[in-house]
Structure 1
C-alpha cells in the first residue's frame, strides 16, 4: 500500500522537501535515564568492559634458580638471544666456568636483578613476554636459612638489586625467627609465578638434590608457582 507523500516529507524554510526520520528509530531520550532501554544497554556494555579489563593477564615473573656458577646468566642470555634476530648481547653478566673435576663456574651475579620484556625484546610491543629474575646462586642444602631465603625470593620480598647473601648472613647471625620478622613484613615486589632450575652440564658435578628439595617445599607452601 502506498503511503501519502506528506507522511514521508515536510518542507524546510526554503520550500525544499526534507526526509522526516522515524522518531521511533532513535528516540532514546527519556526524562529519567534509568527508565530507558538505552540505559540498560549501557550498563551491559560497562559490565562487559569491566570483565575484559579484569581478565587481562599480567606478564609472569619467572625466577632462574640454581647453584653458584652453574650458568644461570648464560642461560638467560641464550633465551634473550633466541628471541631477538639482530645480534647476541650480554644482558646478564657471566663468569668463567671451571674446567676441573667438580669445579663450578665463577659466580658473577651478586644481587637480585629483574629483566622485564622492555629490556630484552622490543620487536613487538604487544607481545606479552615474562619478566625474568636472575639472582645469586644458592648453596646445595635444605637448611632453614636456605628455605627461608627461597621463601622471601618467591614471595617477592627481596628488593631489586638487593644482596641475597646479606639476607642469609643476617639470618645466620640473628636467628631464623629474627630473619622472618625482619623480611616477611615487607610489601611484595615481584611475586614469582614460575621457576626455572638451572644445573651444570658438567657430568662430574653433583646434582643439587638438597636445593631441589628446598625449592619444591617452598613452592608447595606458597602455591600458584610452577617449577620447570
Structure 2
C-alpha cells in the first residue's frame, strides 16, 4: 500500500511537469492567489504543496500557525502580500527549468464589508497591489476615505502583466461556516457580469482541516454543498478538493522536518494538476485596471464640463436676451 502511494506521488509529479511545461520552451508561470478567512490554512497550503513536489522534506516558506485550535481563535499570521516563485520553493534538481506557478499569499479577509473587499480583490487580480502591501491598510484606507480615494492611492503606474492573477483558489476551513459574503466578492471581481470589467479568471476551491471533521455527517455535507454553490462549481467537483495540510495535528512529532508525507501529498498533486491545466484560460488577459480607471475619470471630467457649459449658457442667456430687447 505504501509503495502504491509513493508510485502515485511520483506519477503525479511527472504529470504536473508536463502540465506546467518548461520555461525554456516558452511556458510562463501562472500566478495563483489563495483567498480565505483568517486561519483557514492558506499559508499551510503553500507549504504543503511545496512539500508535495520536494525530494527530501517539508519546509516552511509561508509563515503559518495560530494562537489556538478552537473556533474564534484563528490569528492573522500573514499580514502582507507575498509572492512565492518557483525558484524559492522548488528544491528538486529534477524539477528545475519547469514553469511551476507563482503562489500569492495574502492575509485572511473577514466575511463582511463587501463593496470595499470586492474592489481590493479587483486591484489584486489586476496586479495593482505589489508585494509587501498590507491588505489591512488598504481596507482601512477604503473604509476611512472611500473607495475612489483607495483606488487612486493603490493603482500602479507601471503595472506588469506578469503580476496579474491567472488562477484563484478559495480556501475554506471544513470546521467553520463558509464565508459566503467573501466568496461573493471574489466571484464578482473574478467573474464580472457587466461591461465595465471583462477580464474573467478561473476559480477553484479547497477545504482544509478535513481530518478534524466527520465527512459522513450531514453538517459537513451541507457545508461542502454551500461551498460549491457559492463558487458556482456544482457539477464540476474536480475543481474542488478536500485536503489535510502538513501540521502538528497529523504530525505531532514533526517528522515532516526530515521527510515528506506521501499520503498527504497525493491530494495536493491531484488538485494542482487540475488548477494548472492549460485548458483553463483567462478571458481578456491584457485588460488593464489603469486604463479602465482613467477612462472613468475622462468620462467624469467630460460630464462635469458639459454641466459647467450648460450652466454658463443658462446664466448668460437672460443677459443676452436683455441686450437684444
1:195 aligns with 2:144: no
Q: What is the CA distance between 1:194 and its match in structure 2? A: 0.1
Matches within 5 A, 1:47-62: 56-62=26-32
State the partner residue of 2:179.
208
- In 2: Cα distance, 1:104 partner to 1:191 partner: 33
State the partner residue of 1:87.
57
Unaligned residue ranges in structure 1 (runs of 5+) = 1-52
Change (3 A) 1:187 1:224: farther
| From 182, 191, 203, the counterpart of 1:227 | 203
Matches within 5 A, 1:164-175: 164-175=135-146
Q: What is the CA distance between 1:143 and its match in structure 2? A: 1.9
Contact 1:69 1:97 (8 Å CA) reproduced: no
- In 2: Cα distance, 1:175 partner to 1:129 partner: 38
- In 2: Cα distance, 1:151 partner to 1:88 partner: 33
- In 2: Cα distance, 1:142 partner to 1:218 partner: 14
State the partner residue of 2:15.
none
Instruction: Count residues in correspondence.
Output: 172
1:152 aligns with 2:123: yes
Q: What is the CA distance between 1:104 and its match in structure 2? A: 4.7
Contact 1:68 1:104 (8 Å CA) reproduced: no
- In 2: Cα distance, 1:86 partner to 1:131 partner: 21
Q: What is the CA distance between 1:96 and its match in structure 2? A: 2.1
Task: Name the TM-score, length of structure 2 as normaliser.
Answer: 0.50
- In 1: Cα distance, 2:91 partner to 2:69 partner: 36
Contact 2:27 2:99 (8 Å CA) reproduced: no
Contact 1:142 1:214 (8 Å CA) reproduced: no
- In 1: Cα distance, 2:145 partner to 2:202 partner: 32
Contact 1:60 1:130 (8 Å CA) reproduced: yes
State the partner residue of 1:113.
82
Task: Name the TM-score, length of structure 1 as normaliser.
Answer: 0.70
- In 1: Cα distance, 2:120 partner to 2:87 partner: 28
Unaligned residue ranges in structure 2 (runs of 5+) = 1-22, 193-197, 205-325
Q: What is the CA distance between 1:103 and its match in structure 2? A: 2.0
State the partner residue of 1:136.
107
- In 1: Cα distance, 2:75 partner to 2:184 partner: 24
Q: What is the CA distance between 1:199 and its match in structure 2? A: 0.8
Q: What is the CA distance between 1:184 and its match in structure 2? A: 2.8
